């Protein structure tokens, strides 16, 4: 059984391994032992914190194979981005160059540096090991965060975003960054990405072009990857689109990968999840659903085949599922279809 739960200190070796495996462009897990240790400590403090407003909390989850005890994936939620450090994006928009006298009309795409998503809740750090990219594992790893947000909605903003990994090759070279590097920076993409991951973002404000960039002045290779995702990220963005997330022209300042957004109340899993009272007993199966307890620091989520009666406020689950979620008769759970 696959179980999603909050990270704990003993998961550090597994997190370091995932940081190595995730590769270039995975900004939120840089290969830095001190920083990874701090991420775990911050997450533990966030789950224990009593608050009803989104602030600097960061909730980091791991996906564990209960049969082997192996941690096989991560996902996370940042309660509110940009409150301590500036949170940068490029916004893709148009300007019109026209002259009636000369009978000229031309629409031109431009990229403008902005901080428009300051204060938004961010979904991040989604990574699943290759051998486990099958079945419903990816959906559990991603969608269970929506159930957590609904259960503890005061801890999060009304707008939820997700930055999608942009196009880069196996050596970590990004066509978009190569153009920026040539004209404004003197560091390669992996270095810039790593510095951002460890929180050293001052160079962005110091070196990024301050004025809008005309897209047609970029190299052809850079133009082609604006708003495009890395091949490994395609399943993730398709899942978010199915949940109601949309792309509104915001792209990453390093690799030009798209950022998608949704209002919490418009997210499919948030709208469709139901609360049920648990009854532990024998059950005759059903169809696979996502089920999570309503705890904070003790949050657990898994997938089980259950029969859901929409006219009843109860759900019957097996003892194995109850043990996995650390719940007993009479506890409440959230259930969402997949």
* Domain CATH for 224: 3.40.630.30
Bridge partner residues of 92 (DSSP): 111
- Within-domain flag for 96: no
| Alpha carbons 60 and 78: distance in angstroms, whole number | 9
Same domain as 260, residue 138 = yes
| Alpha carbons 98 and 90: distance in angstroms, whole number | 24
Same domain as 190, residue 126 = yes
- From 239, 269, 299, the end of a domain falls on 269
Same domain as 262, residue 285 = no
| Alpha carbons 321 and 301: distance in angstroms, whole number | 10
Contact 140, 290 (CB under 8 A): yes
| Alpha carbons 113 and 89: distance in angstroms, whole number | 6
Same domain as 296, residue 202 = no
**What's the structural domain count of the chain?**
2
| Alpha carbons 45 and 7: distance in angstroms, whole number | 11
| Alpha carbons 295 and 285: distance in angstroms, whole number | 25
Please tell me the pTM assigned to this model.
0.91
Supply the range of the domain harboring residue 332. Answer: 273-337
The helix or strand, by DSSP H or E, that contains position 46, with its residue range, turns out to be: helix 33-48
- Within-domain flag for 22: yes
**Six-digit token string for 227:** 């708003």
Which entry of 24, 89, 152, 230 is annotated as an active-site residue? 230
- From 251, 269, 287, the end of a domain falls on 269
Query: Is residue 65 helix, strand or coil?
Result: strand
- Within-domain flag for 78: yes
Same domain as 254, residue 168 = yes
- List alpha helices for 243-303, DSSP H: 268-272
Bridge partner residues of 50 (DSSP): none
Q: Report the candidate in 149, 140, 152, 148 with the shortest Cα–Cα distance to residue 290.
A: 140
Q: Is 132 exposed, middle or buried (0-12, 13-18, 19+ CB in 10 A)?
A: middle
Beta strands in the chain (DSSP E): 2-6, 58-65, 71-78, 89-99, 104-114, 121-128, 159-163, 213-214, 246-251, 258-263, 274-280, 287-293, 301-306, 314-317, 332-337
Annotated active-site residue 230? The verdict is: yes
| Alpha carbons 122 and 76: distance in angstroms, whole number | 8
| Alpha carbons 305 and 316: distance in angstroms, whole number | 11
Q: Render each residue's pLDDT in the chain as its tens digit; 338 residues.
A: 999 999 999 999 999 999 888 865 566 787 888 889 999 999 999 999 999 999 999 999 999 999 999 999 999 999 999 998 888 899 999 999 898 898 989 999 999 999 999 999 999 999 999 899 999 999 999 999 999 999 999 999 999 999 998 998 877 788 998 888 888 876 776 777 666 666 666 667 677 787 899 999 999 999 999 999 998 889 889 999 999 999 999 999 888 999 999 999 999 999 999 999 999 988 667 899 999 999 999 999 999 999 888 888 999 999 999 999 999 999 999 999 98
């Amino acid at each position: 059984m696959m179980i999603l739960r909050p990270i704990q200190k003993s998961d550090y070796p597994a997190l370091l391994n995932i940081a190595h495996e995730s590769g270039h462009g995975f900004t939120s897990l840089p290969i830095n032992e001190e920083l990874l240790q701090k991420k775990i400590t911050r997450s533990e403090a966030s789950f224990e914190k009593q608050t009803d407003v989104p602030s600097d909390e960061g909730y980091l989850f791991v996906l564990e194979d209960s049969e082997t005890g192996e941690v096989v994936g991560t996902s996370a939620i940042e309660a509110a981005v940009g409150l301590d450090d500036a949170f940068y994006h490029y916004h893709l928009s148009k300007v019109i160059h026209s002259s009636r006298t000369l009978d000229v009309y031309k629409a031109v795409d431009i990229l403008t540096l902005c901080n428009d998503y300051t204060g938004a809740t961010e979904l991040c750090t989604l990574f699943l090991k290759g051998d486990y990219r099958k079945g419903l594992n990816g959906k559990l790893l991603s969608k269970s965060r929506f159930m957590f947000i609904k259960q503890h909605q005061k801890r999060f903003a009304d707008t939820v975003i997700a930055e999608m990994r942009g196009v880069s090759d196996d050596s970590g070279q990004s066509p978009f960054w190569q153009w920026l590097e040539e004209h404004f920076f003197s560091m390669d993409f992996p270095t810039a990405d790593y510095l951002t991951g460890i929180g050293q973002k001052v160079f962005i404000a110091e070196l990024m072009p301050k004025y809008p960039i005309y897209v047609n002045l970029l190299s052809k290779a850079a133009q082609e990857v604006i708003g495009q995702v890395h091949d490994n990220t395609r399943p993730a963005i398709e899942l978010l689109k199915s949940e109601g997330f949309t792309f509104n022209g915001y792209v990453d300042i390093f690799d030009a990968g798209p950022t998608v957004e949704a209002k919490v109340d418009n997210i499919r899993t948030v709208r469709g999840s139901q609360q049920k009272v648990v009854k532990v007993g024998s059950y005759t199966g059903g169809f696979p659903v996502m089920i999570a307890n309503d705890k904070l620091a003790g949050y657990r989520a898994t997938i089980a085949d259950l029969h859901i009666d929409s006219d009843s406020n109860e759900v019957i689950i097996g003892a194995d599922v109850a043990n996995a979620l650390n719940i007993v008769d009479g506890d409440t759970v959230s259930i969402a279809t997949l």
